[in-house]
């Protein structure tokens, strides 16, 4: 018969780690999405030449491994004496990392809107802002949603790297229990199940929106 030293307090400890994972993910995805929309619109409107400096900076965040970004971000805030804690540093770095990818998602979504549709909207007297609000963004959102859902799930899993800054998120909590209880397989199965439980609703919600919008194609 299977026996384990895992207690309810240990499960509560894992739940606290999962809450930290959700908090870091929520803040990073929210801030990164806002920045990604802003940068995506700028990249599309300015064109490749004028947007080159912004593109170069975003390419750095897409090219350098996230772990290195977290370590360098933590070192930079220490050198600049910003006084950020591990949570703030993690959210700032992950937000910029998310924004770098979200920018391309937004730019691609806007580019997928047919130019004839935009010209028709402008010929009807819509301003640039009205065109973006009522025509471009609704159409671009439908195109970009699957990629954005994938990015959100990716950031949730990548948030495990913040353990290197001292945050006790889900993976770090499971490592602590593995070290103490010496039951790696069982604890990691539970950890994986928790990741699935918190990720599955996001994936299903994205699928629901896709299905709801598809009849309007």
Q: In angstroms, rounded to a whole number, what is the distance separating the alpha carbons of residues 28 and 196?
A: 19
Token reading at 204: 């299903």
pLDDT at 2: 60
Domain regions of the chain by residue span: 8-216
Q: In angstroms, rounded to a whole number, what is the distance separating the alpha carbons of residues 161 and 71?
A: 10
pTM over 0.75: yes
**Model pLDDT for residues 5-55, shown as the tens digit of each residue:** 778 888 899 999 999 999 999 999 999 999 999 999 999 988 888 889 999
Q: In angstroms, rounded to a whole number, what is the distance separating the alpha carbons of residues 176 and 149?
A: 30
Transcribe the chain into DSSP letters.
-------HHHHHHHHHHHHHHHHHHHHHHHHHHHHHHHHHHHHHHHHHHHTHHHHHHHHHHHHS-HHHHHHHHHHHHHHTT----HHHHHHHHHHHHHHHHHHHHHHHHHHTS-HHHHHHHHHTT--HHHHIIIIIHHHHHHHHHHHHHHHHHHHHHHGGGGGGGT---HHHHHHHHHHHH--HHHHHHHHHHHHHHHHHHHHHHHHHHHHHHGGG-
**Model pLDDT for residues 118-127, shown as the tens digit of each residue:** 888 878 888 8
Percentage of residues in the chain with pLDDT exceeding 70? Answer: 97
CB 77, CB 17: distance < 8 Å: no
Q: In angstroms, rounded to a whole number, what is the distance separating the alpha carbons of residues 6 and 15?
A: 13
Mean of pLDDT over the chain:
89
Q: In angstroms, rounded to a whole number, what is the distance separating the alpha carbons of residues 45 and 135?
A: 16
**Model pLDDT for residues 159-194, shown as the tens digit of each residue:** 999 988 888 899 999 999 988 888 888 889 999 999
User: Between 7 and 69, where is the model more confident?
Assistant: 69
Instruction: Please say whether the structural domain 8-216 has been given the CATH code 2.60.200.30.
Output: no
Q: In angstroms, rounded to a whole number, what is the distance separating the alpha carbons of residues 105 and 178?
A: 38
Token reading at 158: 């990548």
């Amino acid at each position: 018969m299977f026996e384990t030293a895992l207690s309810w307090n240990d499960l509560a400890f894992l739940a606290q780690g999962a809450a930290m994972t959700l908090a870091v993910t929520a803040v990073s995805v929210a801030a990164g999405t806002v920045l990604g929309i802003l940068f995506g619109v700028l990249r599309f409107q300015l064109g490749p030449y004028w947007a080159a400096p912004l593109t170069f900076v975003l390419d750095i965040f897409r090219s350098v491994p996230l772990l290195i970004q977290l370590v360098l971000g933590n070192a930079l805030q220490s050198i600049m004496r910003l006084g950020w804690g591990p949570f703030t540093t993690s959210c700032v770095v992950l937000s910029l990392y998310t924004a770098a990818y979200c920018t391309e998602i937004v730019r691609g979504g806007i580019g997928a809107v047919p130019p004839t549709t935009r010209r028709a909207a402008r010929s009807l007297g819509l301003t640039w802002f009205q065109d973006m609000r009522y025509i471009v963004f609704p159409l671009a959102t439908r195109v970009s949603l699957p990629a954005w859902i994938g990015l959100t799930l990716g950031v949730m899993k990548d948030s495990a790297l913040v353990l290197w800054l001292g945050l006790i998120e889900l993976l770090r909590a499971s490592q602590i229990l593995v070290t103490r209880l010496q039951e790696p397989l069982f604890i990691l199965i539970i950890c994986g199940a928790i990741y699935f439980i918190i990720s599955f609703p996001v994936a299903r919600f994205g699928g629901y929106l896709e299905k709801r919008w598809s009849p309007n194609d």
